[in-house]
Amino acid sequence: MMDKLLTLRNIRRIYAVFFMILFVLLLWLTGFKRMKGYETALFLELDPLVSIASFFTSWTIYKGLILSLIVIIGTLFLGRFFCSWICPLGSINQAAGSIFNKLRAVDTVALNSYRPLYRFKYYIVAFLMAIAAFGSLQTGLLDPISLVTRSFTVAVFPGFNHNSGWLYLKQPLFNGGTFLGVIFLAVIFANRFLPRFWCRAVCPLGALLGLLSFKPLLSIRRDVELCTDCKKCLGNCHGGCDPHAALRTGECHLCMNCIEDCPEGALHYGLSKPSSSVHIPLDVSRRRLIESALAGAVIFPVMRSTITSKTSPNSRVIRPPGSLSEGDFLRRCIKCGECMKVCPTNAIQPALLEAGFEGLWTPLLINSIGYCEYNCVLCSRVCPTGAISPLTVEKKLGKAAGQKPIKIGTAFYDRGRCLPWAMNIDCIVCEEVCPTSPKAIWFETVTVPLRDGTRKTLKLPRADPNLCTGCGICENKCPIRDQAAVRITSIGESRSPANQMILKS
């Protein structure tokens, strides 16, 4: 009985389900209420694409990213096990593929055979790594763990909450959330045409792990003397790695289905035997690989010659507190969305093109949605790459002697829209909610003539740029909802030596 249940295939399934649940659980735990020192960014830290690419951009293996060695070393010995045993996106694609395709055996053989299309992912990783070597981290666009974390944070969880109300007190809203949701759906839907299309043809992490498993110690072996060439092993193959012929080790996910499906017992996982078939380690065109890397080398200076927040500070690019200066920030941010998940006020949003193409889906604060909670440093705690460097509340607020609070921007009044300034109506909500002590927003009490000739005493608000931290609660709570009368722009942000206006503070 146990023999039948505890097959290699079922053991792999148990792992895949366990890691899928763990992934959702850790993301669910990423919030003020539930985060009690759990390693919430575990999957991103296990991801070798994150650690290797960010190593290229900044020559460090940052803190938890050292955990990716588990996967790197494991892959050298065992092969590309990550994709079908651990990767949440792999599990989602596998499930989608088996739901969407219910076909005759002859069709699955065609669908699961190796195709030259699968080389494409190696060219993608060559392109991304070439850009990284020059100093721009763009792996996050296609890194499966970043993609699945971002999609869950920005689209899946909010969508689920919209229907159930179980996850958040207040429905989260995200800038371009539909766009990210559609991309995620497209990745899942691609399985309808070719099972695990993403994993086999696009995934740069899969390609990187494929490269690492060019000659693993252990692998799937086919005994040529027992094999009858029935091709039943292709029926449920995850990777499309041709176990019926010369196995392509870089494509094999170690799903173990071929071993279970072989009626002759000709396949086993382990060391080679004298009768074992040969393997094909890696099937890519060197010419194409160099081309792709060259494309990266060409695109890098182009990206750096466009208007970005680094070359020309953008008023709307307000980064979370603790963010590195823009250049270093872009060297570290993998667009994973952990900070967006943890932000208690929903202020942290995925950028579209505000910070340049390089900054696509990087975090910025949109104060009409939320504001930076004065005593909160959670985004800096969950960032797996240190793009937002870890803060304590004391450090953020500049409580220690000789320290200044971290500024993420500065408040400016739009006196033409402000109720007391423009319309002689009492308000100063901005002053009420200003969290600093003494308050950065102060007021002057003046008596002004009204249209009918009477006079009225009013409090006119002003912002003190030296006390303002740019938290944005004034903008968020301003009654002029569509475009607040007090707004934060990024000028004066502590992280930038260039984006400054005041000579002496």
According to DSSP, the residues that pair with 487 across neighbouring strands are 412
Q: Which of 325, 389, 318 is nearest to 347 (CA)?
A: 318
Report the alpha-carbon distance of residue 59 to residue 332 in Å, rounded. 11
Report the alpha-carbon distance of residue 435 to residue 12 in Å, rounded. 52
Which lies closer to another protein via its Cβ, residue 17 or residue 425?
425
Which lies closer to another protein via its Cβ, residue 199 or residue 377?
377
Which lies closer to another protein via its Cβ, residue 343 or residue 388?
343
How near is the Cβ of 472 to another protein at its closest, in Å? 13
Which lies closer to another protein via its Cβ, residue 284 or residue 397?
397
Which two structure tokens, joined as six digits, stand for 230? 């029935």
Report the alpha-carbon distance of residue 89 to residue 84 in Å, rounded. 9
How near is the Cβ of 388 to another protein at its closest, in Å? 18
Which lies closer to another protein via its Cβ, residue 49 or residue 473?
473
Angle between helices 48-58 and 120-134 (to 10 degrees): 30
497-500 contacts: CB < 8 A, separation 24 or more?
497/325, 498/313, 499/313
Which lies closer to another protein via its Cβ, residue 55 or residue 374?
374
How near is the Cβ of 361 to another protein at its closest, in Å? 24
Which two structure tokens, joined as six digits, stand for 203? 């995934």
Which lies closer to another protein via its Cβ, residue 56 or residue 157?
157
Q: Sign of torsion, CA 431 434 435 438?
A: negative
How near is the Cβ of 258 to another protein at its closest, in Å? 42
Q: Sign of torsion, CA 180 182 183 185?
A: positive
Binding site for another protein (CB under 8 A): 31-33, 165, 169-171, 344-345, 373-376, 419, 425-429, 431-439, 443, 459, 477-479, 481
Which lies closer to another protein via its Cβ, residue 174 or residue 184?
174
How near is the Cβ of 153 to another protein at its closest, in Å? 17
Sequence letter at residue 338: E
How near is the Cβ of 300 to another protein at its closest, in Å? 40
Which lies closer to another protein via its Cβ, residue 235 or residue 344?
344
How near is the Cβ of 446 to another protein at its closest, in Å? 15
How near is the Cβ of 432 to another protein at its closest, in Å? 6
How near is the Cβ of 179 to another protein at its closest, in Å? 24
Sequence letter at residue 253: H
Q: Which of 364, 350, 347 is nearest to 313 (CA)?
A: 364
Q: Which of 322, 347, 343 is nearest to 473 (CA)?
A: 347
Q: Which of 56, 200, 193, 194 is nearest to 122 (CA)?
A: 200
Which lies closer to another protein via its Cβ, residue 26 or residue 474?
474
How near is the Cβ of 102 to another protein at its closest, in Å? 28
- Alpha-carbon torsion, ordered 72, 45, 96, 109, to 10 deg: -10
DSSP state of 198: I
The H-or-E segment that residue 54 falls in is: helix 48-58
Report the alpha-carbon distance of residue 462 to residue 445 in Å, rounded. 11
Q: Which of 163, 153, 142 is nearest to 348 (CA)?
A: 153
